[in-house]
Structure 1
Amino acid sequence: TMIYYGLKIIEPSVFLPVTVIICSVVSISTGSSWSTASTVGIALVGIGEGLGLPRPIIAGAIISGAYFGDKLSPMSDTTTLAPAMAGSNLFEHIKHMLYTTVPSYVLTLIGFVVIGLRKTSGGEVDTAQINEILNALTGSFKINPFLLLIPVFVIGMVIMKVPAIPGLFVGSLIGAATAIFVQGSSLKEALYSLHYGYVGHTGMPMVDELLTRGGLDSMMWTVSLILCAMTFGGIMEKSGMLGRIAQEILKFANTNGKLVLSTILTPIFVNLVAGDQYLSIVIPGRMFKESYEERGLAAKNLSRALEDSGTMTSPLVPWNTCGAFMMGALGVGPWVYVPYCFFNLISPVLSVIYGFTGFTIEKIKKEDK
């Protein structure tokens, strides 16, 4: 239903920036990039491919929007974790992040507007094909705008802070019930789809490819990689290996600019070797806290750098928990979507520029001392 109405409503030339904005709104509301990618993100992949756009570009737009909220929403776990590690106030931290977030977001939208215009101006979007997709969908399914209430309900549960497991479980039950009572599937087919995924049989190969999705079974590789990454990251931290490497990095940070650069590079390094975004915030946060205090720099400078780097680069690493999840949810291979994650790539670069120029780098106030 979301694919059907998306193809009818969204103009091909503005699909990519609209995708960024939709995912931004959902992620700000839920505070979760994972929930955003696995709900509206999946539908947007179907719509974008129906419009003739490559999946890696669509995935880049989805991830850019999803991590906008993951970075700024007070309900996001990383948004609360970074100031906790740095010793800054949550809302001061969010306000301070706007200096890097807003320019990065504007540049991201401009980038996707340009790509969208280039992809559609060359006649790459086939309206006849879109009509074929719409006919295939209406010929195989009962399409009704009331069915949109189901994803809205699931997203609403996340906004109301219903824990993820019961929230997604209820969403799965509603989806299965809808398949049985609205679409006419049997209980056996619904249960099979939950575990092994759904296989499309519309008669149109492109639509079948769009609709064919894995169930629980398809996510086992992602889950196993997450478990391995968490275990390996824990060993790296508790054994002191990461801390020892970090101490060497601190020797380089003898100016404010180099300190911010070191703060940006260290979470990227942790994301690469430990495979977990939480460790990429916790370890550098503890490590650099005293250095910022010694230089008289406000803690919110540290917390912003941790988010600009640790949170933003986590989905860009395929063996990181976030990268593995995005690949599994959006159905893309490793690295192919990375060049199009404009928001995630621009944010750490801006943070480094601010560090060396001193722009928005605030000192510790007397009352804070």
Structure 2
Amino acid sequence: MSETKKTNGRMPKLWEALITLAVLILALAVGIMYYEVDPHVPMFVGVCAAALMAMHLGYKWDEIEKSMMDGIYKALQSCCILIIVGILIGTWIDAGVVPSMVYYGLKILHPAIFFIAVVLICSITSLATGTSWGTMGTMGVAFMGIGFGLGMSPAMTAGAILSGAYFGDKMSPLSDTTNLAPAMAGTDVMSHVKAMLLPTAVTYGIVLVIFGIMGATQYHGGDADMSRVNEFAMALNAAEGGVFNINPILLLPPVVVIVAVAMKVPAIPGITLGIVVGGALGMIFQPNCNLGSIFNFGINGYEFNDAALAMFEANLTEETAYTMTRLLESGGILNMMFSVSMTIIAMMFGGIMEYTHQLEVVVDQLKKLAKGPVGLVVLTEGTCVFSNATMPEQYISIVVPGRMYAEEYRKMGLHPTVLSSALEGAGTVTSALIPWNTCGTFISSTLDIEVATYAPFALFNWMMPLINILFVVTGITLKDLDGKPFKKQKAKA
């Protein structure tokens, strides 16, 4: 597209920018909360409002169109990674990699450490699949039933499920939010994950300790009915009459991806390497895994064959069979198009708002509240929580604050990973604590428990933003534009 020059566009007034944001918020609220639809079309209503306001400000259509394309371009790497991740998940399930991870995770479950085991297993599942929703909708449902049978508190059980699921979603390079946050901040996913590692690890450790104490007070010994867990594990393992050949060697592909992250291999080749290793091992260990199945499941997502479904009907309870198919029939490029299309539409909105300075006039007012790097991070996290409550969609709580504050972080001399960590540390995890947010609604209906009931025990979700701020206050995670420690005298709120 050829370059265009600004013509008659003027600087917007604050009330004009707020009108655009109000239309977006109203469209999302009506669409998501009242009609219970996906956020894509309501978000496009916001794009239309931003474009109309831009025309009102004197911008020509070719400028507005170019601003949308420029916004999309900034998220293209994230979109490409999401597409490749779809291939990886479909391939890893077909190869038995994800089933092996879940199988060995289930084997560590013991009633005496029930809550810790739930956190760990949900973490493993979410790390392997990159989705907190998929983890909660599958392993989470099973653990709620098991916890009920063991006499565990449903609220504590749900809190443990969420803590593990959102830890994996936040840290997995396969997660859409883990790729979206650095795309909005202007950094790469590997640098983003590395920047989040220390505060997230500290939060996770505290969560495990607290759930360990909770478990000791809830479980009083005795025998427990673990038949549902054993049935699920058997359904995975071909040696026990299940579907997949489970083998410890199949844990190698995620190790390869983790090592690639540690060695600073860029995301696209690093994830592609995981696909190659997983596919090769799958063709060795799984009789039905071949190049054709990898091609098929890579685009359409994994699907059980008729023989596997017949085995489910013959040997498994209806509930276990449902859990198996819901957990493992996933992945594929087409299943990633929901996130890719949402990212594109959101960046159309962000591109217009940025180019026409509508975001700038709002930020100019908000940044008066931030008197330094610490204040800026606190303001960013607060905006993420506000976005989760007023524009109740997890992606938007990352996209909108990310585009609002990216330039301010640069002006203050802060590395983009400081912003991406704040976006992920507040935007991703607090969505589960808002009853009318899409995440809160999904969890409440899936786990059959009210948000207000489980929220106090979703320890990771409400502790993460606080500990992230603590690390910023101490200056530990503050980095300058060169990636070096930010000077202490500049790190005051």
Shift of 1:357: 2.6
In structure 2, distance between residues paired with 1:151 and 1:78: 31
Structure 2 residue 402 is matched with structure 1 residue 285: yes
Q: Hey, what does 2:315 align to over in structure 1?
A: 182
Q: Hey, what does 1:316 align to over in structure 2?
A: 433
Contact 2:126/2:168 (CA < 8 Å) preserved in 1? yes
Q: Pairwise mapping of residues 6-21 of structure 1 onto structure 2 (< 5 A)?
A: 10-21=109-120
In structure 2, distance between residues paired with 1:21 and 1:164: 28
In structure 1, distance between residues paired with 2:391 and 2:123: 28
Change (3 A) 1:176 1:13: same
Match of 1:58 among 152, 157, 176: 157
Q: What's the TM-score, normalizing by structure 2?
A: 0.55
Q: What's the TM-score, normalizing by structure 1?
A: 0.71
Q: Hey, what does 2:121 align to over in structure 1?
A: 22
Contact 2:363/2:405 (CA < 8 Å) preserved in 1? no
Shift of 1:100: 1.2
Contact 2:108/2:117 (CA < 8 Å) preserved in 1? no
Amino acid at match of 1:75: L
Moved more, 74-83 or 172-181: 172-181
Structure 2 residue 449 is matched with structure 1 residue 332: yes
1:122-158 CA deviation, whole Å, 9 max, x = no partner?
xxx664xx45x85xx8xxxx958542347979xx9xx
Structure 2 residue 393 is matched with structure 1 residue 260: no
Moved more, 267-276 or 322-331: 322-331
Q: Hey, what does 2:235 align to over in structure 1?
A: 147
RMSD: 4.0
Q: Hey, what does 1:37 align to over in structure 2?
A: 136
1:154-178 CA deviation, whole Å, 9 max, x = no partner?
xx9xx9888799547x359788544
Q: Name the count of aligned residue pairs.
A: 311
Q: Decide which structure has the larger Cα Rg and report it.
A: 2
Structure 2 residue 450 is matched with structure 1 residue 362: no
1:279-309 CA deviation, whole Å, 9 max, x = no partner?
1111111111111111111111000110000
Contact 1:257/1:357 (CA < 8 Å) preserved in 2? no
Q: Hey, what does 1:300 align to over in structure 2?
A: 417
In structure 2, distance between residues paired with 1:17 and 1:257: 33
Match of 2:214 among 98, 115, 121: 115
Q: Hey, what does 1:191 align to over in structure 2?
A: none
Q: Hey, what does 1:193 align to over in structure 2?
A: none
Q: Pairwise mapping of residues 63-142 of structure 1 onto structure 2 (< 5 A)?
A: 63-121=162-220, 127=223, 130=224
In structure 2, distance between residues paired with 1:53 and 1:145: 22
Amino acid at match of 1:148: L
In structure 2, distance between residues paired with 1:320 and 1:366: 35
In structure 2, distance between residues paired with 1:249 and 1:172: 55
Shift of 1:323: 1.5
In structure 2, distance between residues paired with 1:15 and 1:358: 36
Contact 2:381/2:426 (CA < 8 Å) preserved in 1? yes
**Structure 1 gap segments, 5+ residues each:** 186-197, 201-209, 217-225
Amino acid at match of 1:68: F
Secondary structure in 2 aligned to 1:318?
coil
Moved more, 96-105 or 43-52: 43-52
In structure 2, distance between residues paired with 1:172 and 1:16: 34
Contact 1:7/1:47 (CA < 8 Å) preserved in 2? no
Amino acid at match of 2:111: P
In structure 1, distance between residues paired with 2:151 and 2:299: 35
Q: Hey, what does 1:188 align to over in structure 2?
A: none
Q: Among all aligned residue pairs of Structure 1 and Structure 2, give the percentage whose two residues are the same amino acid.
A: 37
Secondary structure in 2 aligned to 1:337?
helix
**Structure 2 gap segments, 5+ residues each:** 1-103, 255-273, 276-293, 327-337, 485-493
Moved more, 352-361 or 95-104: 352-361
In structure 2, distance between residues paired with 1:296 and 1:33: 33
Secondary structure in 2 aligned to 1:84?
helix
Secondary structure in 1 aligned to 2:136?
helix
In structure 1, distance between residues paired with 2:243 and 2:436: 29
Structure 2 residue 367 is matched with structure 1 residue 250: yes
1:169-206 CA deviation, whole Å, 9 max, x = no partner?
x35978854453335x9xxxxxxxxxxxx7x9xxxxxx
Change (3 A) 1:35 1:211: closer
Q: Hey, what does 1:221 align to over in structure 2?
A: none
Amino acid at match of 1:105: Y
